[in-house]
């Protein structure tokens, strides 16, 4: 079956300035955590920001942003995003029935994502961030072909196995002509809160080398930090709960680099 012909065209999003994808080649590297904190960091720069959780496998944004309710609908049948920490949010996890994601394949998935972009009252927004599922399979390819994405940031951990997946991510975005704005190294180093010793649990610096190899910007590194994880679990990203912490400063620095890249 030729699914290419059934993929809807990239429709512009009226009232939405830029669409940014947060991607990773590998699962569990901190993509949703990064998407949530980047959204907050951009809003702290004075911008209006939305966050679309397009991860059908594990929609985590509702937990990480503390937004569990079902979104309401307008009389015209448009969905109203929830608003938390100043960010407009929609997640498949707010709507999906248990088991349903299994049947979302190719054209159906494309249609659903188009609806999440087109039939949600996002506007007015300066930035809409899309938290993609991990990997570079059909689903991600369809998403990046369907959504009018202006740029992608790729999250990785420093160790080699994750970096191999970054190469695939970069190639995928090249295939669909989406500019890669840069790479973020997450869980980069661990600083012991008791003795201040730094330990590079997953290594350190791999993402910067990868970025230079592929001639794409290195956007920054976020340390492995307990408060990043608890912030996510408790629904208050560290950029809000501990704005002076090293990870929060790192996210804000990355947000400014993203803004400067357009
Ligand atoms: N810098 C960090 N320090 C400590 N914990 C972190 C950090 N980044 C992410 N985590 C934690 O690691 C776990 C995985 O993060 P997250 O869910 O953001 O990854 P993901 O790439 O979105 O995963 P998936 O591929 O399943 O969507 C979460 O429990 C999160 O709180
Ligand atoms: Mg995730």
Other CB atoms within 10 A of residue 182 CB: 20
> How many structural domains does the chain have?
1
Task: Indicate the average pLDDT of the chain.
Answer: 89
Pocket perturbation via mutation, ligand 1, pick of 30, 153, 231, 247 by most ligand atoms within 8 A of CB: 30
Closest listed residue to residue 35, CA positions, set 12, 7, 54: 54
- Minimum-distance ligand 1 atom for the alpha carbon of 131: 22
- For ligand 1, atom 8, which residue shows the shortest CA distance? 30
pLDDT at position 3, please? 44
105 touches ligand 1 (CB under 6 Å): no
CATH code, 40: 3.40.50.300
List, in order, residues 6 or more apart from 153 with CB less than 8 Å away: 20, 21, 22, 23, 34, 38, 180, 181, 182, 183, 184, 219, 254, 258
CA of 237 to the centre of ligand 1 (A): 12
| Cα 8 to Cα 4: distance, rounded to the nearest angstrom | 9
Strands 82-84 and 87-91: antiparallel
Torsion of CA 31, 157, 134, 250, to 10 degrees: 20
For CA atoms 143, 237, 49, 86, give the dihedral sign. positive
140 touches ligand 1 (CB under 6 Å): no
Tell me which residue range forms the domain holding 202.
3-260
Convert the pLDDT of each residue in 90-143 to its tens digit.
998 887 665 555 455 666 666 777 788 889 999 999 999 999 988 887 767 777
Q: What is the pTM of this model?
A: 0.93
């Amino acid at each position: 079956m030729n699914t290419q012909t059934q993929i809807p065209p990239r429709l512009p999003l009226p009232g939405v300035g830029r669409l940014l994808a947060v991607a990773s080649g590998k699962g569990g590297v901190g993509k949703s955590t990064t998407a949530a904190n980047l959204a907050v960091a951009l809003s702290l720069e004075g911008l209006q920001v939305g966050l679309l959780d397009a991860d059908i496998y594990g929609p985590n944004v509702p937990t990480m942003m503390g937004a569990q309710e079902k979104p309401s609908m307008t009389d015209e049948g448009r969905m109203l995003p929830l608003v938390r920490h100043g960010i407009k949010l929609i997640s498949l996890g707010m709507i999906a029935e248990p088991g349903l994601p299994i049947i979302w394949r190719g054209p159906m998935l494309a249609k659903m994502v188009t609806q999440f972009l087109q039939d949600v009252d996002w506007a007015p927004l300066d930035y809409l961030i899309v938290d993609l599922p991990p990997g570079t399979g059909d689903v991600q390819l369809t998403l990046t072909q369907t959504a009018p994405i202006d740029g992608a940031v790729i999250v990785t951990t420093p160790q080699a196995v994750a970096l191999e997946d970054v190469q695939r991510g970069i190639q995928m975005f090249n295939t669909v002509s989406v500019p890669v704005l840069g790479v973020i190294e997450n869980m980069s180093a661990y600083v012991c809160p008791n003795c201040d010793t730094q330990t590079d649990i997953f290594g350190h610096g791999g993402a910067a080398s990868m970025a230079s190899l592929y001639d794409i910007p290195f956007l920054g590194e976020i340390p492995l930090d307990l408060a990043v994880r608890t912030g996510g679990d408790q629904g208050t990203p560290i950029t809000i709960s501990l704005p002076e912490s090293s990870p929060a400063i790192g996210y804000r620095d990355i947000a400014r680099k993203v803004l400067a890249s357009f």
